[in-house]
Structure 1
């Protein structure tokens, strides 16, 4: 696990430097500070690291891919700022959210700035053997992921209070909201690294699978981890009435009494810990906690299988380790 954290840190520093260079020129200074705020607040830097590592794994040059990797992190950060405003979340990465520090109007502008800068950084990418076709395909890939993120967020909002959501619809939502940008990170790395179409598509599938596993693992950790590791109370998703794979599966399998009780708990967004524990016991009764873990594991296994298309290299090994990290992390 430590090795993967080191890999992410090693790859992320050049991305952080690129982001700082590009955002420091923004005026007024207040907008620049608001735009940079979350990029300096920590985070795993998983997506940009995947872009750089994938580029290297297909035989490309990391230096040609840095701006794209940084752009993908800016898209991710933009989505977090706007999500926090929509969800009225006051904290992000252990710090007050951007809109709590600067107010909603400037936070919206900061998100818009990051979104715009991301595309500018891809367009201005430079590097040996880099051509217009690669940049154009990367732009199209990133733009498509932005649409999917919006679709996923809209679906997530529409699921609130809807306890008839089925597994396929839920998985489609989390792919769009979370997995699409991770898939874009690996696909963009393959494009900028000069891979052929077969490998580009394979790396998109790899990213999609670990993206799905990442979100399902988040849901899983919410009920099996501890408050210190998570940085929030256990079962907070239940207390907030959120739909997760465990909820969807439990409602599909439970008898009428248990189903009605689970819905009652989820509808009460101020549930006590006793009620949260009751919901977790319903999950356990129908095996949906283990089911979620098994689905995540299956996705990780499939992702690692896809990596066989790549030649052996340190970068390929890193991609395999990252797939395991997505499932084995504690927060």
Structure 2
């Protein structure tokens, strides 16, 4: 069983549901702008996690499809609005939504996806899924939306602030990235009628691989080859981003080296990327970043002991490893 094959299989299932959910959107410009990023591709990791978590606790995959679509709609909504805020012109190798349809229509497209997500969860109506489980899944999805907004706000507040603690950084990436992945696994387990212990374990599994996913991004930014990354190595350094690597280096550096790191981050130039990486190496922050991501993935896999052996459980184990094995 290969990760890419797993993601393709579940992607095709959720794509059909996404087409159905968005088929009624009008006028045409709003429908086209809403569908743009979904049609541009993406791994569809989050909806796969919803369906696999449902299956892992003994539920039926088809019962979780609407919630899986909802999670992907929320992820896509957040990307459209992020691109507007960050003024990013490209996403998934194509022009961003606001670059084609303008900011007002892009905002509406994001709002449409956001609203359709809740509609999709509420349409879960089968003999297998008790209504209270659907309501709990909806609460989980709603909670992750609040977290995403708070995480984005924290991230914006960190700009130009070089006194961010590791605890504050981890809280930000949990809210911005890991919360929706945790919501994916938790809502899937709820729809699958898992026991309270199974639901909690799968929620924590999602949180841990979500944190590892973002931390691995920080790590790949300085250790990958440009052709694998699809962007220049050290672009986080050029943009002056606070990453776990930066936070750890600043916490351990001598006052002189700390000043140099901050100076490089403030420059927004690629001329000192190599020097920054040297300083990260000096204070062990590159290895530390990898070790934290690795530890989170190992802990996540151990949590899966709570469910019986199955192809879904095996897929969840492989997806946890994939977080570390990917090159971009």
Contact 1:64/1:128 (8 A) holds in 2: no
Contact 1:31/1:110 (8 A) holds in 2: yes
- Unmatched 5+ residue regions in structure 1? none
The DSSP-based 3-state class of the residue aligned with 1:37 is helix
Which residue of the partner structure matches residue 124 of structure 2? 125
CA displacement, residues 123-144 of structure 1 (integer Å, 9 cap, x when unaligned):
0113231121011001100010
Which residue of the partner structure matches residue 150 of structure 1? 149
Within the alignment, does 1:304 sit opposite 2:301 as a pair?
yes
Contact 1:18/1:70 (8 A) holds in 2: yes
CA displacement, residues 91-141 of structure 1 (integer Å, 9 cap, x when unaligned):
111111110011000000000000000000000113231121011001100
Contact 1:183/1:204 (8 A) holds in 2: yes
What is the 5 A alignment of 1:1-331?
3-269=2-268, 271-272=269-270, 274-331=271-328
CA positional deviation for 1:257: 1.2
Paired with 1:165 and 1:330, the residues of 2 have a C-alpha distance of 27
Paired with 2:127 and 2:322, the residues of 1 have a C-alpha distance of 32
Paired with 2:244 and 2:230, the residues of 1 have a C-alpha distance of 21
CA displacement, residues 177-205 of structure 1 (integer Å, 9 cap, x when unaligned):
00000000000000000111111111100
TM-score by length of 2: 0.99
Paired with 1:228 and 1:300, the residues of 2 have a C-alpha distance of 26
Contact 1:212/1:296 (8 A) holds in 2: yes
CA positional deviation for 1:325: 0.3
Tell me the number of residue pairs that the alignment of Structure 1 and Structure 2 aligns: 328
CA positional deviation for 1:303: 0.2
Paired with 1:69 and 1:326, the residues of 2 have a C-alpha distance of 19
Paired with 1:100 and 1:242, the residues of 2 have a C-alpha distance of 24
Paired with 1:128 and 1:275, the residues of 2 have a C-alpha distance of 61
| RMSD (Å), alpha carbons | 0.8
Paired with 2:285 and 2:23, the residues of 1 have a C-alpha distance of 47
Contact 1:213/1:326 (8 A) holds in 2: yes
Paired with 1:95 and 1:325, the residues of 2 have a C-alpha distance of 25
CA positional deviation for 1:296: 0.2
The DSSP-based 3-state class of the residue aligned with 2:218 is helix
Paired with 2:177 and 2:255, the residues of 1 have a C-alpha distance of 32
Contact 1:56/1:315 (8 A) holds in 2: yes
Paired with 2:280 and 2:59, the residues of 1 have a C-alpha distance of 46
The DSSP-based 3-state class of the residue aligned with 2:2 is helix
CA displacement, residues 223-267 of structure 1 (integer Å, 9 cap, x when unaligned):
001111111100000000000000000000111111101101111
